[in-house]
């Protein structure tokens, strides 16, 4: 059975999995799930993931991995080439810590603002099978948190090439997805964040080279 990624080309979370697989050079098939039409809530997709979220990775043995943490853990163990979760115990701890910060301070902040502020997300303030009403105050807080996240990243990157350690890691993947996702709440990298701008430009240049070998939107 081939490796299959259940994806949505316009969503941030599955983009993390796409970049991860591309960085590892792992061939896989892709099934697109249209979040805009609510396909993730269909009975057909619920049979794949009852949590109604993407990404989902179906492994060669048929195991279904339904979140980025599980996908990263499996891929790193199954395909050890080009380590992205760290090599030494200290490095693994550092990468895990910074990756969590990229999720909590970055991705979750943008999602908080977007899901609670966008008319398109009415009653969908949280992902999953249940509806949840929007809370406008959380949208305002999410924008502020995202701006603070950009400031923190710019300071972190003042004298370094990568987020967590001295080498590229999954923390960089999570960070760039969070930074790019922020455009949906009109927060963008500007000249006020020169170090963040330089890091993002270098990342996207490397991604362009990688995309010549494999598809990485």
170-174 contacts at long range (C-beta below 8 A, 24 or more positions apart): 170/20, 170/72, 170/84, 170/85, 170/95, 170/99, 171/95, 171/98, 171/99, 171/101, 171/102, 172/203, 173/16, 173/19, 173/20, 173/23, 173/84, 174/16, 174/99, 174/102, 174/103, 174/106, 174/107
**pLDDT category, 211, cuts 50, 70, 90?**
low
**The pLDDT value given to residue 202:** 96
Which pLDDT belongs to residue 208? 74
Residue with tokens 């990756």: 99
pLDDT at 207: 84
**Position 214 confidence tier, pLDDT thresholds 50, 70, 90:** low
Q: Residue 210 has what pLDDT?
A: 66
Q: What is the mean pLDDT of the chain?
A: 95
Say yes or no to pLDDT of 146 above 70. Answer: yes
pLDDT digits (tens, 9 = 90+) for 86-131: 999 999 999 999 999 999 999 999 999 999 999 999 999 999 999 9
Q: How confident is the model at residue 151 (pLDDT cuts 50, 70, 90)?
A: very high
> What confidence score (pLDDT) does residue 102 get?
98
Residue 216 in this model has a pLDDT that exceeds 90: no
Q: What is the mean pLDDT of residues 3-7?
A: 98
* pLDDT exceeds cutoff 60 at 69: yes
Q: What is the mean pLDDT of residues 1-29?
A: 96
Q: pLDDT category, 187, cuts 50, 70, 90? A: very high
Hey, which residues does 5 pair with through a beta bridge?
30, 57
| Percent of the chain topping pLDDT 90 | 94
CA dist 101 and 70 (Å) reads 17
For residue 27, is pLDDT > 90?
yes
Q: All domains of the chain, ordered by start, with CATH?
A: 4-78 (3.40.30.10), 89-211 (1.20.1050.10)
Determine the average pLDDT of the residues in 69-76. 98
| pLDDT greater than 80 at residue 166 | yes
The answer to whether 150 and 199 are in contact (CB under 8 A) is no
């Amino acid at each position: 059975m081939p490796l299959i990624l259940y994806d949505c080309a316009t969503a941030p979370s599955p983009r993390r999995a796409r970049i991860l697989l591309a960085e590892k050079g792992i061939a896989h098939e892709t099934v697109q799930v249209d979040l805009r039409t609510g396909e993730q809530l269909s009975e057909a997709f619920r049979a794949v993931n009852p949590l109604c979220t993407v990404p989902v990775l179906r492994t060669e043995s048929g195991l279904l991995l339904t979140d980025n943490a599980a996908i990263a853990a499996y891929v790193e163990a199954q395909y050890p080439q080009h380590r992205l979760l760290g090599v030494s115990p200290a490095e693994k701890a550092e990468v895990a810590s910074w990756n969590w910060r990229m999720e909590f301070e970055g991705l979750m902040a943008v999602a908080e603002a977007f899901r609670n502020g966008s008319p398109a997300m009415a009653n969908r303030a949280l992902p999953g099978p249940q509806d949840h009403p929007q809370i406008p105050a959380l949208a305002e807080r999410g924008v502020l948190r995202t701006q603070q996240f950009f400031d923190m990243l710019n300071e972190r990157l003042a004298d370094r090439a990568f987020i967590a350690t001295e080498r590229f890691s999954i923390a960089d993947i999570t960070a760039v997805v969070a930074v790019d996702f922020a455009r949906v709440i009109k927060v963008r990298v500007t000249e006020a964040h020169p170090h963040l701008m330089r890091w993002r430009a270098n990342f996207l240049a490397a991604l362009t080279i990688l995309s010549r070998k494999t598809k990485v939107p």
